Amino acid sequence: MDTGQLYTMLQPKLNEIRKYLIRLGASPSDAEDIVQETVYKAFSYMDAIENGKFGAWLYKVAIHRYYDLCRRAKWITVPIETIDIPDFELPEDALLQREKKEEVEVVLGQLIPLHKQLLIMKYEMELPYKEIAKLLGISIEHVKAALYQARQQFKKKYGSEVR
């Protein structure tokens, strides 16, 4: 299989990773740059990557590159304008929905990175526990326990944020 065929085959996974990076707070252009660097590394280290773990390897490389970018930039933003808000019949409903999303984003930004990642993977990307565990390189039990903690932290912070 040549590199063009492999790239075409990987395109859905790369789009998923790009969207995930944007949800973590990367700008669309930074997310695209990170995905391209990840592809380059994947082609460079293709022989060293275990069969069946290619997708997890891509996620890990992309996430580590994103964290490197954040450390250099010293800030993380979540671009609210990239979040699709469905059209409502009343403008007031759309405004309330947007405000609620902004409140959720503020609370997500206050969580530790692992908790934020887990909540996005589970509830926005709708990944099963097994897939999350594989992508993050942790056990399913650890995913379940950390998700429980993440939900509790989110509820606590969201409750105090809304008041």
Listed residues 22, 40, 73: the one ending a domain: 73
In a domain? residue 126:
yes
Cβ neighbours for 23, distance < 8 A, ≥ 6 positions apart:
78, 120, 124, 125
Into how many domains does the chain fold? 2
My answer on whether 143 and 93 are in the same domain is: yes
What CATH code is carried by the domain that includes residue 125? 1.10.10.10
Q: Which pLDDT score is estimated for 85? A: 47
Under 8 Å between Cβ of 6 and 19: no
Under the phi-then-psi rule, with left for phi > 0, alpha for psi from -120 to 50, and beta for the rest, what region is 74? left
Under 8 Å between Cβ of 58 and 42: yes
Under 8 Å between Cβ of 101 and 88: no
What is the residue range of 51's domain? 3-73
Under 8 Å between Cβ of 18 and 66: no
What CATH code is carried by the domain that includes residue 34? 1.10.1740
My answer on whether 93 and 154 are in the same domain is: yes
My answer on whether 96 and 158 are in the same domain is: yes
My answer on whether 106 and 50 are in the same domain is: no
Q: What percent of the chain has pLDDT over 70?
A: 80
My answer on whether 94 and 136 are in the same domain is: yes
63-115 pLDDT tens trace: 888 888 887 765 545 555 555 545 445 556 667 777 888 888 888 888 898 89
In a domain? residue 145:
yes
My answer on whether 53 and 101 are in the same domain is: no
* Size (the chain), residues: 163
Q: Give the range among 20-29, 52-61, 112-121, 129-138 with minimum mean pLDDT.
A: 52-61
Q: Which pLDDT score is estimated for 1? A: 54
User: Within a 10 A sphere around the Cβ of 73, how many other Cβ atoms?
Assistant: 12
d(CA 100, CA 18): 24
State mean pLDDT over 7-32.
86
Mean of all residue pLDDT scores within the chain: 80
Under 8 Å between Cβ of 9 and 43: no
